[in-house]
Chains A and B, each alone.
Chain A
Amino acid sequence: MFPVLLLLLSTAFTCQASSQKVLVLLDDFKTRSTHSLYFNDLISRGYEISFKSASDKKLQLKDWDEWLYDKIVLFAPTATGLGANSDHTTLLEFIDAGKDVLVAVDSSASELMRSLAADIGFDLDARGASVTDHVDYVKFAMADHTLIASEEFMQSSAILGNFTDSAPILFKGAAATMSPESTLGISILGAPETAFSHLPGKPVTDNPLVANGYASLVAAIQARSGARIVLAGSVDMFSNAYFTTAGFETASGKRFDKAGNRAFCDEVTKWAFHERGVLRVTNVHHSHAGEQEQPDWYRVSDDLEFGLDIFELVGGVWQPFKADDVQVEFVMLDPYIRTKLQHNEQGHFYTAFKVPDVYGVYKFVINYHRAGYTPLELAKTVSVRPFRHNEFERFLVAAYPYYMSVFSTMAAFFVFGFAFLYHK
């Protein structure tokens, strides 16, 4: 058998929500009560929550190389150190181990939070800068132009599930930008068109960090280790106050019955904690057309079938994945064949094609990267051999004239002997 390289994220198999340990790091224990609805939602989904102060000197994430927690919620925007450390290296190790982190900051985010954001690929705006909207701010008792309502959430069922609620999300905090070259970063919640990020109360003299299209209020990244990290620019958006806002009006006169914060935050957390958007591949199979057995090699111009099963984790249950854009490539340095896979709605994806007329060692390659889904990277090696010497067609009708010429020449050679020897 040829070695099978199956690069599946290990997290794909360990994503049952039940009895996973979540560490909530706070800078102020009041958050525990002001955000209790959010934490209760986590508990009701089966998480085991422990609250710790980010500055707790006895804080320990790892015990003898074993991680003590599966997920971390970091609601400590002003923390200047993590436990006994003054930097966030343990947190980065946690991420490198493929574990998920949800970070919420606000406009007063500390240097620690800023460097953490920078290390996961996001750039928080200058300290103190808030997302401001003078045109369409939310009108509460006090006219606070930094409290805005955004409906610019990403249309992705992988990340937000069936959050089709058109209720806008209340937001008060900082915006982040990501490099346009970032291939892993996703902006889950953008800012409204009229919003910008600046120090409140200071006159805008330079170009502010333009919010629309560039800045994200909630950004996420799916690291190559499999970890999912969400960076929310506002701690307040997770708070009970915003979760239970009954109805509000914006400065431009739009009225809303409720805020979408609770549903949105829960859905984002579900995605971040691998409850959704997780793909699993099983039963990768290839064979000669119409056969079952999986051979080690094919001959050039053979007809073959390729198939695999893809399942998606939905609410803790593996369900058939349905997508029309999964492709398989048949690669020997270059892809000789790249074709879409059909599927039967039961999660089985398949295709059939003819092996190219070039022999060598090929790979079946699946490289499926979609925003919000765990990437599928899979390669399966198979060799393709040329025709054997006895596999070529023989006695072709097209070659009859050549055969005839050889026979006639030999006959001529024979006759020539008589003609030559008996003429003087």
Chain B
Amino acid sequence: MDSVTNRIHDFKSNASIIVKSFNSEYKKTPLRIKVIDAFIVYALLTAAIQFLYMLCVGTFPFNSFLSGFFCSLGFFVLSVSLRMQVDPSSTEFKGLLPERAYADFVFCGCLLFLVVWNFMG
């Protein structure tokens, strides 16, 4: 019994250490990136809610479900791409201007919404 409680205790302390270190590290993230993260979480949540709703009421109307679901997912993917491109800690897109990255994001977003609107019916 002792070993089990010890293990649980260890796990709890480890988890709290991870959360604490994440929090402290995340505080160093620039505000702009934090804003992007907020929208990413929002996009994921709407996608998850729509999926649950689909499970409850069934797949009809399927085209509406697909367009709503993929709209959220697409927004999520585009936001993640933008985050990767404007993150100052990343070296991958060193030469890329944040304005250029944002312009790409807007263009792709418009394309996404155009498709979604046509399919939503």
Contact = CB atoms under 8 A, between A and B. Distances in A.
A binds B: yes
Interface of A: 392-394, 396, 398-399, 401-403, 405-406, 408-410, 412-413, 416-417, 419-421, 423-424
Contact of B120 (A406, A412, A417): A406
Contact of B57 (A398, A405, A410, A420): A398
A398 B117 CA distance: 17
Interface in B48-75: 49-50, 53, 57, 60-61, 64-65, 67-69, 71-72, 75
B32 A413 contact: no
The 3 closest A-B pairs by CB, nearest first: A402-B68, A399-B64, A402-B64
B75 A402 contact: no
Contacts, number: 74
A53 to B, nearest CB: 81
Q: Name the prevailing secondary structure of the A interface residues.
A: helix
Contacts of A403: 64, 68, 120
B121 A394 contact: yes
A396 B61 contact: yes
B113 A410 contact: yes
Q: Name the prevailing secondary structure of the B interface residues.
A: helix
Interface of B: 30-32, 35-36, 39, 42-43, 46, 49-50, 53, 57, 60-61, 64-65, 67-69, 71-72, 75, 79, 82, 102, 106, 109, 113, 116-117, 120-121
Contacts of A398: 57, 60-61
Contacts of B121: 392, 394
B106 A417 contact: yes
A393 B71 CA distance: 22
Contacts of B30: 424
Nearest to A399: B64
Nearest to B110: A413
Given A406-B116, A413-B109, A401 B75 contact: no
A419 B33 CA distance: 10
A122 B108 CA distance: 82
A423 B35 contact: yes
A413 B61 contact: no
A406 B106 contact: no
B51 to A, nearest CB: 11
Given A413-B113, A417-B106, A406 B35 contact: no
10 contacts: A398-B60, A402-B64, A403-B120, A405-B71, A406-B113, A406-B120, A409-B46, A417-B106, A420-B36, A421-B102
A419 B68 contact: no
Contacts of A412: 39, 42-43, 75
A420 B50 CA distance: 26
Given A398-B61, A405-B46, A405-B50, 18 more contacts: A399-B61, A399-B65, A401-B49, A402-B64, A402-B67, A402-B69, A405-B69, A406-B71, A406-B113, A406-B116, A409-B72, A412-B39, A412-B42, A412-B75, A413-B109, A419-B39, A421-B102, A423-B35
A409 B71 contact: yes
B43 to A, nearest CB: 7
Nearest to B39: A416
Contacts of A399: 61, 64-65
A152 to B, nearest CB: 62
Contact of B68 (A392, A401, A417, A423): A401
B120 A401 contact: no
Contacts of B116: 406
Contacts of B109: 413
Contacts of B46: 405, 408-409
Contacts of A410: 113
A394 B82 CA distance: 35
Nearest to B70: A406
A423 B53 CA distance: 35
Contacts of A419: 35, 39
A409 B35 contact: no
A244 B82 CA distance: 111
B29 to A, nearest CB: 12
Contacts of B32: 420, 423-424
Contact of B75 (A409, A417, A420): A409
